[in-house]
Amino acid sequence: MSNINPKIDLVFKKLFGTEQNINLLKSLVNSILPENEQVTSLELKNTYNPSDYLSGKISYLDIKATDENGKWYDIEIQVAPFDFFGFRLLFYWAKMYKSKQTYDDLRKTIVISLINFNYFVDDEGQERYHRRIGLTDLDTGKIYEQTDGLELIFVELKKFQKELPEIHSTLERWITFLNKAHEYSKDNLPKELATEEIKKAMEELEVMYFNEKEQEHFESQQRRYLDEESLAKQEQRKIEEAVNEAVDNRNIEIAKSLKSKNISTDIIIETTGLTKDQIDKL
């Protein structure tokens, strides 16, 4: 099993942001893009360089790349929410888009964010873990060629709930790898994940090396990740306890009402789920 979490930004950058692993990046990007927009090649524009990291030149561990048509991609992973997250994405998109010299040089820029928290609120039963947002005609939904310069793609990792037998697509495999790499090794990958790219990614994780400064960053991010996971579980427990308490209180009020009407104890038990002792004490 790998002890290195691929959701830590430094690990993600070292795993997908190097020339030797360009096929892993292409597989990940194509799994997120629609079938009619698949890329055949990617060129890294900010290849991970340990010397840049050591010198402090790297402050934002994203991955920038262009495809064979000149389209730009900015790929990042974010483990914890923070204020103005959406504004930050627009800010970095704008910096990339306006960096071109002339209007003729402008190319569509796609920001891909894999996030380890729930950012969008969906209707119950309609949860989506993959979401594409772009510039469209607000009345017709039509996309126009010269205004089709922005696309934001979100993959909300925690909303993905499929188990191994349900996994079929490349995106589902990559999400499962990111969420559960710690459970597997290159030698015990389940058949649902045992593709060439996932095997390669597991191998890279298992041999990944950190210099001293990288190790400090990794440990700091890992602590933050574990803290966020712990806080999220605490909040979930609080919500569940509050819901259970509300249900219990409602059942008690229903039981009181039924008891005042001389409804039999058996029917009250069946209706409310309370025990005979609880009902007798009302």
pLDDT digits (tens, 9 = 90+) for 60-107: 679 999 999 999 999 999 988 888 899 989 988 888 887 776 787 788
**In this structure, what DSSP letter does residue 78 have?**
E
**pLDDT at res. 40:** 96
Q: Angle at Cα 96 formed by Cα 69 and Cα 62, nearest 5°?
A: 95
For residues 30 and 195, what is the distance between their CA atoms, to the nearest angstrom? 15
Res. 56: pLDDT tops 70: no
**pLDDT at res. 233:** 67
Q: For the chain, give the mean pLDDT.
A: 85
Are 177 and 198 in contact by the 8 Å Cβ rule? The answer is yes
Closest by alpha carbon to 112, among 64, 146, 160, 158? 64
The amino acid present at 261, given as its one-letter code, is K
The amino acid present at 111, given as its one-letter code, is V
pTM above 0.85, yes or no: no
Tokens of 56: 């402090």
Query: Phi and psi at residue 41, in whole multiples of 5°?
Result: -155, 155
Averaged over 46-64, what is the pLDDT? 69
Share of the chain above pLDDT 70, in %: 88
> Of 68-77, 165-174, 180-189, 239-248, which range is least confident?
239-248
The amino acid present at 266, given as its one-letter code, is D
Are 48 and 18 in contact by the 8 Å Cβ rule? The answer is yes
Band of the pLDDT at 138, cuts 50, 70, 90? very high
Res. 39: pLDDT tops 80: yes
Band of the pLDDT at 265, cuts 50, 70, 90? confident
For residues 244 and 30, what is the distance between their CA atoms, to the nearest angstrom? 43
Band of the pLDDT at 46, cuts 50, 70, 90? confident
